[in-house]
Amino acid sequence: MTDIRIRKATGTWVIRSGGAILGESKNALELSEGNLAPVIYFPRADIAMALLDRTDKSTHCPYKGDASYFSIVNKSSISDNAVWSYEEPITPVAEIKDHLAFVLSDSVKVEQL
């Protein structure tokens, strides 16, 4: 198994897309996996889910489970498959259930306030 660590992300985190704030959280999680850059996972309750449309895309990670994807749809842009969620993660990473992570790009930014 790869080395995965999950901890509470310190401070307040915000996710922006196309100039719109999709969410802000003091309860985000930071997932570190091997040598990859850490990923911030936001609780669904802190995200404007009305701006997300579920897509047909799914992927499988042997260490986390099956990921579902969403596109971000706001007034200025659509970011296809820019959000993923492990809705039924495997037991070692169960903490990320009901959380969302974002594909960073020119139009999608995750920032610590």
Domain boundary assignment for the chain: 4-112
pTM (two decimals): 0.95
- φ, ψ for residue 95 (rounded to 5)? -60, -25
Report the pLDDT value the prediction gives residue 77, as an integer from 0 to 100. 81
The two three-digit tokens of residue 113, written as one number: 């306030």
Kindly give the confidence (pLDDT) of every residue in the chain, 113 residues in length, as a single tens digit, with 9 standing for 90 and above. 578 999 999 999 999 998 889 999 999 999 999 899 999 999 999 999 999 999 999 999 999 999 999 999 988 788 999 999 999 999 999 999 999 999 999 989 999 99
Phi-psi region of 93 (alpha: psi -120 to 50; beta: other; left: phi over 0): alpha
Protein fold of 4-112:
2.170.150
